[in-house]
Chains A and B, each alone.
Chain A
């Protein structure tokens, strides 16, 4: 009978982690629905970027208030997880505070977890105020209505609850330690929860043990719940920010990639030795589709981008089109891409591993043409993203589909392109007049 808690814990833990692993497998499958892309180059620079941008939070602090608060929550999240390790070992072995033997080191660790937990609560409350009271512009854009707004708040609530459970657990433990209760070894230093412990004075040992155990179980159950919540939320960035910054763009951000399939066509066209009557070989592969109209046309890095986006809206805040009231919001481009990818993934799950045409696509059903054509390609969104997401690349790929597959550019742009084709300039001037300026006074 005495092993029942251990067994219950093991079941809870395995179930929590197992469900998470199942979702990670799905996530990976969905991301690799994207096209292959060459990102194996320059590994040292990639590691550096990950260390600076994800681990070092270098782009978060461009906005100092949000950056500072975020670093508190981030550091708190990473460090307090050391405590989770102890909780898991205790849970499996039926021990209590197994690291207590570390003595002063343990006291220091627990004290720092407590201070961090307190700071996390403060930061999260401020985050909540920014979203719901001050209502910062970037959190109230149209794409944030409904679930995205709820999701953002839910994450904050979960974080506060987890921190309070952690502190309550420590407070009751501290009180029990002072009472000299069996099993509750004297260990740890409780700079924050000692103030909660004041409320527990006068409670019986049994009640305190009840409080301590309840908080302990709810805390670990909450953590496992949160772990599994990630997959259904924008909060995946806590994991994906690392691979995403690793696979981020290394070339100058103004450089758009070359479309190889077009290069082959153009070379053939310009080759005077090419046979003008040549028919494609019988077994020639179907020519590649130009550009992107759905998520499968994007690269897997672009799809990773979509899952990594945590909807902070810095991109949209810096976007000139969005600032001037146009429909385009780079954040919405990422959210739409993710939502469509999730939909495609579900479709595949429901149809025994094969995607069944659902008559929908990313273009028009999620992202409208009006949004795509409003972009100035200024790269402000790319620069603003704290985790190296590139919304512009998706916009450009979708423009390529519109122009090269559908010939559906706005009339003005068709005129401009006609001019380039005919006279080598976007305006209808004769190429032979290109040097006239040198003779004008």
Chain B
């Protein structure tokens, strides 16, 4: 925990005449939300350990526009998209990795038609590649035999068909991966998507995140793993609501790996 994070910015590298292998798109949650910042830092620790040549946009990054687009504000979305694309193209970005499935989906699928085509990866896919290439090794000691259930983020799973990368990482931790009754393509939303994160929910008889947390608790997990900062918040709130926060942790895949590696 003591090692200082090395977080170069695109601007710094550009000034030094360097080009990183990959741009780490931090996203708004990863930049500002206290819980999500821990995920960001965990991921950077892994990148540092694996000596990945990366950079962030830092203060030049701006919201991808996903919540605006899903609220119906195509105008604001495209303003954001064009601004971001202009900056990424100016730096000659080829490859992007992000720990937020919403940023992932937007940059990967909705930016190309506006002039921003990049090789976009979710951090679980990126980490799996690092593992396959032998750039990180995982012993898994800390999580050996622990029951971990994985909550599929809608924008990673259903939206883009990525189900296996996060699961393979959990298995590599020697943990016992247990599936919820609705998982993968039929996984239940955490309740945050489509800009719901930023508003009160409509009248109903339950909250989505509570129902999803109940499904997770049915698997009697020690850890609920997530791959999205918004899902993480929703599930954390759900676990607190059920007063289980002392026995069940909600952790991002990057945090699991960083912890296992004692980073």
Q: Interface segment, A75-83, A125-133, A169-177, A414-422?
A: A414-422
Say if the beta carbon of A238 comes within 8 Å of chain B.
no
Instruction: Find residues 39-93 in chain B having any chain A CB closer than 8 Å to their own CB.
Output: 40-41, 44, 56, 58-59, 61-63, 65, 67-76, 78-80, 82
Say if the beta carbon of B15 comes within 8 Å of chain A.
no
B189 lies within 8 A of A266 (CB): no
A373 lies within 8 A of B199 (CB): yes
A residues less than 8 Å from B138 (CB atoms) = none
Say if the beta carbon of A437 comes within 8 Å of chain B.
yes
Cα–Cα distance between A377 and B80 once the two chains are bound (Å): 20
A437 lies within 8 A of B37 (CB): yes
A373 lies within 8 A of B202 (CB): yes
Cα–Cα distance between A205 and B202 once the two chains are bound (Å): 69
Contact (A324, B71) CB under 8 Å given A258-B113, A425-B63? no
Q: Interface segment, A239-247, A302-310, A335-343, A393-401?
A: A393-401
Per-position binary interface string of chain A over residues 127-164, scored 1 when its CB falls under 8 Å from any chain B CB and 0 otherwise: 00000000000000000000000000000000000000
A residues less than 8 Å from B159 (CB atoms) = 252-255, 379
Q: Which residue of A290, A404, A435 contacts B7 across the interface (Cβ within 8 Å)?
A: A435
B204 lies within 8 A of A325 (CB): yes
Majority secondary structure of chain A interface residues (helix, strand, loop or mixed): helix
Say if the beta carbon of A440 comes within 8 Å of chain B.
yes
Say if the beta carbon of A251 comes within 8 Å of chain B.
yes
Contact (A429, B32) CB under 8 Å given A262-B74, A321-B204? yes
Say if the beta carbon of B185 comes within 8 Å of chain A.
yes
Residue in B closest to A414 when the chains form the complex, CB atoms? B71
B residues less than 8 Å from A4 (CB atoms) = none
**How near does chain A come to B190, taking the closest CB pair, in angstroms?**
8
Q: Interface segment, B127-135, B166-174, B206-214, B253-261?
A: B206-214
B191 lies within 8 A of A374 (CB): no
Say if the beta carbon of A86 comes within 8 Å of chain B.
no
Contact (A263, B114) CB under 8 Å given A325-B205, A376-B189, A383-B186? yes
A residues less than 8 Å from B205 (CB atoms) = 324-325
A376 lies within 8 A of B110 (CB): no
Which of B37, B155, B202 has the most CB atoms of chain A within a 10 A radius of its CB?
A: B202
A404 lies within 8 A of B40 (CB): no
Residue in A closest to B31 when the chains form the complex, CB atoms? A434
Q: Which residue of B32, B37, B198, B201 contacts A413 across the interface (Cβ within 8 Å)?
A: B198
Instruction: Find residues 253-310 in chain A having any chain B CB closer than 8 Å to their own CB.
Output: 253-256, 258-259, 262-263, 265-267, 269-270, 290-291
Cα–Cα distance between A259 and B74 once the two chains are bound (Å): 7
B196 lies within 8 A of A438 (CB): no
A residues less than 8 Å from B58 (CB atoms) = 434-435
Say if the beta carbon of B239 comes within 8 Å of chain A.
no
Say if the beta carbon of B241 comes within 8 Å of chain A.
no
A328 lies within 8 A of B202 (CB): yes
**How near does chain B come to A52, taking the closest CB pair, in angstroms?**
15
B194 lies within 8 A of A377 (CB): yes
Say if the beta carbon of A165 comes within 8 Å of chain B.
no
B63 lies within 8 A of A420 (CB): yes
B residues less than 8 Å from A432 (CB atoms) = 59
Say if the beta carbon of A402 comes within 8 Å of chain B.
yes
Cα–Cα distance between A256 and B201 once the two chains are bound (Å): 23
A residues less than 8 Å from B199 (CB atoms) = 373, 410, 412-413, 416
B186 lies within 8 A of A376 (CB): no
Told that A378-B189, A400-B72, A417-B67 touch, could you supply 14 new A-B pairs with CB distance under 8 A? A252-B161, A253-B158, A254-B105, A255-B105, A290-B74, A320-B189, A324-B208, A326-B201, A326-B204, A374-B204, A403-B71, A420-B67, A425-B32, A427-B28
14 inter-chain pairs at a CB distance below 8 angstroms, sorted by A residue, are A252-B160, A254-B159, A266-B79, A291-B72, A324-B207, A324-B211, A370-B203, A376-B191, A376-B196, A380-B186, A400-B72, A412-B199, A417-B76, A425-B31
| Interface, chain B (partner A; CB < 8 A) | 5, 7, 9, 26, 28, 30-33, 37, 40-41, 44, 56, 58-59, 61-63, 65, 67-76, 78-80, 82, 105, 108-110, 113-114, 154-155, 158-161, 185-186, 188-189, 191-208, 211-212
